């Protein structure tokens, strides 16, 4: 079985993992996957890390050095992921549709589980939201930090504290049983375009795997076909 090295932003973790075994059976490809925040994947590539398939935001692909970018040809769009607040599914939190509602929920939350606020796409955006709401310093002592939104949402599912919140991208939270979308005010919405790139010199079954993931992302992988946000 051919091993393919996959470096991926956490936003595509659920998409890839749900099809990993099937890809092995259909195409004879064993996916060796590493998931990390966008900046960490970007830095690994800039540092010369080997990869057959790469998933990054469109912006991060565009920021790669030309000699690195050319290794992956023209990246194709998987879709768009939205940065959201996440609640436990059995926690009756009203939708966070306004800035005031979000501020109150954050200040009332005994625990806030967040992705990397410096290196992940969603985390950097959330840090800016907290500053804009004037709550960053107040929230800091009750924050727990995780590598990505999937890990933050998974940790939330194991919590029992009423009002606890996590922050994750929609594609990450969708893969975690026991959590639900809590919303995000329109003025703080962020939709990020994610793309998949294949090593230019890669041989079959790389192209087959890319086609499979592109189809799955658009069918049931949790990615939106465009940047529209519905809070």
Task: Please state the domain extents for the chain.
Answer: 2-80+192-219, 82-188
d(CA 78, CA 161): 35
Vertex 156: Cα angle to 153 and 159 (nearest 5): 165
Q: What is the pLDDT of residues 89-139, one digit of tens each?
A: 999 888 899 999 999 999 999 999 999 999 888 899 999 999 999 999 999
| Range list of β-strands (E), the chain | 2-9, 29-36, 53-57, 76-88, 112-115, 143-146, 165-169, 179-183, 191-198
Please give the span between the terminal C-alpha atoms of the chain, in angstroms, as a whole number: 44
Q: How many CB atoms within 10 Å of residue 73?
A: 13
Both tokens of residue 169? Answer: 């991208």
Q: How confident is the model at residue 231 (pLDDT cuts 50, 70, 90)?
A: very low
> Could you check whether 2-80+192-219 and 82-188 share the same CATH topology?
yes
- Supply the pLDDT for residue 32: 96
Secondary structure (3-state) at 76: strand
CA-closest candidate to residue 121, choices 7, 6, 8, 10:
10
Question: Tokens 């290794």 sit at which residue?
Answer: 71
What's residue 228's pLDDT?
59
- Give how far Cα 44 sits from Cα of 4, 9, 179, 200, Å: 17, 12, 31, 18
pLDDT above 90 as % of the chain: 82
> Count of residues for the chain?
231
State how beta strands 191-198 and 53-57 pair. Answer: antiparallel
Rounded distance, CA 47 to CA 54, Å? 14
Phi, psi of 185 (to 5 degrees): -55, 145
What percentage of the chain reaches a pLDDT higher than 70?
Answer: 97
- For 131-148, letters b (16+ CB in 10 Å) and e give eebebbeeeeeeeeebbb
Least confident among 27-36, 56-65, 85-94, 214-223: 214-223
Reported as type and span, the H/E element at residue 100 is helix 99-108
230 band by pLDDT with thresholds 50, 70 and 90: very low
Alpha-carbon span 42 to 60, nearest angstrom: 7
Superfamily for the 82-188 domain? Periplasmic binding protein-like II (3.40.190.10)
CATH 3.40.190.10 fits 2-80+192-219, yes or no: yes
Euclidean distance between CA atoms 41 and 30, whole angstroms? 20
Residues 113, 165 contacting (CB under 8 angstroms): yes
Average pLDDT over residues 59-72: 94
């Amino acid at each position: 079985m051919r091993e393919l090295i996959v470096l991926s932003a956490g936003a595509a973790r659920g998409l890839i993992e749900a099809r990993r075994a099937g890809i092995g059976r259909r195409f004879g490809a064993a996916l060796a996957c590493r998931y990390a925040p966008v900046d960490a994947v970007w830095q690994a590539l800039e540092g010369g890390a080997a990869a057959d398939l790469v998933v990054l935001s469109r912006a991060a692909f565009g920021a790669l050095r030309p000699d690195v970018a050319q290794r992956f040809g023209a990246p194709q769009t998987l879709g768009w992921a939205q940065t959201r607040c996440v609640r436990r599914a059995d926690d009756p939190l009203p939708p966070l549709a306004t800035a005031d509602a979000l501020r109150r929920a954050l200040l009332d939350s005994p625990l806030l589980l967040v992705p990397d606020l410096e290196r992940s796409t969603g985390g950097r955006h959330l840090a800016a939201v907290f500053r804009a709401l004037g709550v960053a310093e107040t929230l800091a002592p009750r924050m727990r930090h995780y590598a990505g939104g999937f890990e933050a949402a998974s940790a939330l599912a194991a919590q029992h504290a009423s009002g606890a919140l996590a922050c994750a991208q929609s594609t990450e939270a969708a893969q975690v049983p026991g959590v639900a979308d809590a919303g995000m005010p329109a003025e703080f919405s962020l939709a990020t375009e994610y793309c998949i790139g294949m090593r230019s010199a890669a041989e079959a079954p790389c192209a087959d795997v890319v086609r499979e993931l592109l189809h799955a992302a658009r069918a049931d992988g949790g990615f939106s076909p465009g940047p529209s946000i519905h809070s």
